């Protein structure tokens, strides 16, 4: 498959520019009183005989191991609970409130000692505490590969790789810099990957394969619930002495219409460069029905209701135009959109329907300059089909189109768009 480097100078990337500035930019080593000791890298034996090449297998049994340190600022920020687990008896519970003195509740690992790593990070986001922020500036980071500053000039840089929630969308954000000393203002470039609407009240099994590099030989591959959603080749970090380090939990600086976040994490694995997807991938489980987290003894409600709480049943929330050469998003396809080939990176296109849940099928009917129909039983819901996230190309003829997408629950979402040379 051909892969093209996509550079975006957009407001979406700029939203994370202040992710590590000022009040919470200190390195974990400087807040040792808040952190546990972290053991040096060593291989671990998995509870599953089929797995190998593992540096970490964190099952919270009986408690968080010495593989991770903690960076928390309140008594409610971190706990280990039996009210929720993916496997075993317990999971980690992270809580952050708008009134907290810090902007993060996380665990973290030391900087990586080798450029290639595999990570498995299942997360569970309960809808009761994940109402949609009123504006995009209220983003949240739930997983990040954090840079280690070489000097004081570099303090406050955005993490080079982060999984963020932005206006109810799951987004992978990537930054890089080739110069040896960099700031947010002197980075070389960045890109984002739309991973679809945030799925709540279920375990999201996120798997990452990363080869860290500030040059063109970098790799980022991401799977969500077993489906490959990112296949990127290119720069993905800063030109630092130390490689990035893993942070998990909640990082949130700006609050708009919400006052609390709660996230659960369980069954973490880190593999070396010889690992494979199967070495780190979470065990298959059923997300329906899912265990329900026990409510807090004195829950703090958000001041305003979630304006985007999905209705009962599956529905299409948006459409994304896909570059079928690179399998990466080009833009959100909105009603009335005009697709001008002179402004597109390729004529090989596809369209993905983004749904509030992946439990169900979507039937597409395209009419207009050309007609086409298709039923997609599993995500990603691609109008013209895909093979494990490798989108099949569609070269549209010039003209007007209407796209109808009907879900298993009977909800139909329609948009009109046009194509011109």
Is residue 63, in this structure, part of any structural domain at all?
A: yes
Higher-confidence position of 203 and 340: 203
Is residue 336, in this structure, part of any structural domain at all?
A: yes
Is residue 198, in this structure, part of any structural domain at all?
A: yes
164-212 pLDDT, tens per residue? 999 889 999 999 999 999 999 999 999 999 999 999 999 999 999 999 9
pLDDT confidence tier of residue 287, bands split at 50, 70 and 90? low
Q: What is the pLDDT of residue 312?
A: 55
Distance CA 71, CA 162 (A): 17
Mean pLDDT on 331-350: 88
User: 257 and 208 in one domain?
Assistant: yes
Q: Quick one: how far is CA 153 from the chain centroid?
A: 29
pLDDT confidence tier of residue 17, bands split at 50, 70 and 90? low
Residue 309 has pLDDT above 60, yes or no: no
Distances, alpha carbon 279 to alpha carbons 41, 119, 121, in Å: 17, 10, 13
Domain harbouring 179, CATH code: 2.60.120.200
Higher-confidence position of 333 and 27: 333
Distance CA 80, CA 133 (A): 27
Share of the chain above pLDDT 70, in %: 84
Is residue 306, in this structure, part of any structural domain at all?
A: no
Give the chain's domain count. 2
Q: What is the pLDDT of residue 342?
A: 82
Number of Cβ within 10 Å of residue 97's Cβ equals: 18
Higher-confidence position of 238 and 24: 238
248-277 pLDDT, tens per residue? 999 998 998 899 999 999 999 999 999 999
| Domain ranges, residue 58 | 11-280
User: 253 and 114 in one domain?
Assistant: yes
Q: What is the pLDDT of residue 359?
A: 80
| Domain final position from 256, 280, 304 | 280
Q: What is the pLDDT of residue 410?
A: 86
User: 390 and 261 in one domain?
Assistant: no
Is residue 177, in this structure, part of any structural domain at all?
A: yes
User: 222 and 100 in one domain?
Assistant: yes
Domain harbouring 349, CATH code: 2.60.40
Q: How high is the mean pLDDT of the chain? A: 84
**β-strands 69-71, 104-108: how paired?**
antiparallel
| Domain final position from 221, 253, 280 | 280
């Amino acid at each position: 498959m051909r892969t093209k480097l996509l550079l975006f100078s957009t407001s979406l990337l700029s939203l994370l520019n202040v992710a590590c500035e000022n009040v919470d930019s200190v390195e974990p080593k400087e807040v040792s009183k808040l952190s546990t000791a972290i053991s040096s890298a060593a291989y671990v034996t998995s509870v599953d005989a089929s797995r190998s090449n593992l540096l970490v297998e964190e099952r919270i049994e009986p408690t968080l191991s010495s593989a991770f340190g903690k960076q928390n600022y309140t008594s409610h920020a971190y706990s280990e609970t039996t009210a929720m687990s993916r496997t075993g008896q317990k999971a980690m519970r992270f809580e952050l409130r708008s009134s907290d003195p810090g902007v993060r509740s996380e665990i973290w690992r030391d900087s990586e000692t080798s450029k290639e790593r595999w990570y498995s990070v299942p997360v569970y986001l309960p809808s009761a505490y994940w109402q949609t922020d009123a504006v995009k500036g209220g983003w949240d980071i739930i997983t990040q590969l954090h840079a280690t500053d070489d000097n004081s000039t570099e303090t406050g840089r955005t993490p080079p790789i982060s999984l963020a929630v932005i206006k109810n969308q799951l987004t992978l954000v990537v930054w890089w810099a080739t110069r040896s000393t960099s700031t947010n203002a002197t980075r070389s470039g960045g890109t984002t990957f739309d991973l679809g609407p945030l799925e709540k009240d279920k375990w999201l099994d996120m798997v990452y394969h990363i080869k860290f590099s500030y040059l063109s030989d970098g790799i980022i591959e991401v799977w969500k619930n077993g489906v490959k959603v990112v296949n990127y080749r290119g720069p993905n970090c800063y030109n630092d002495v130390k490689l990035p380090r893993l942070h998990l939990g909640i990082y949130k600086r700006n609050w708009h219409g919400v006052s609390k976040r709660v996230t659960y994490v369980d069954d973490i694995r880190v593999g070396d460069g010889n690992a494979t997807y199967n070495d780190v991938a979470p065990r298959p489980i059923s997300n329906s029905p899912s265990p329900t987290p026990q409510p807090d003894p004195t829950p703090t409600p958000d001041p305003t209701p979630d304006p985007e709480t999905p209705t009962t049943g599956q529905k299409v929330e948006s459409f994304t135009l896909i570059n079928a050469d690179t399998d990466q998003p080009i833009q959100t396809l909105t009603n009335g959109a005009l697709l001008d080939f002179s402004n597109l990176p390729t004529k090989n296109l596809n369209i993905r329907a983004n749904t509030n849940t992946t439990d169900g099928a979507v039937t597409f009917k395209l009419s207009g300059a050309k007609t086409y129909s298709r039923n997609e039983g599993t995500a990603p819901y691609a109008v013209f089909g895909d093979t494990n996230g490798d989108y099949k190309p569609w070269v549209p003829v010039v003209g007007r189109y209407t796209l109808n997408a009907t879900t298993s629950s009977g909800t139909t979402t329609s948009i009109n768009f046009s194509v011109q040379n």
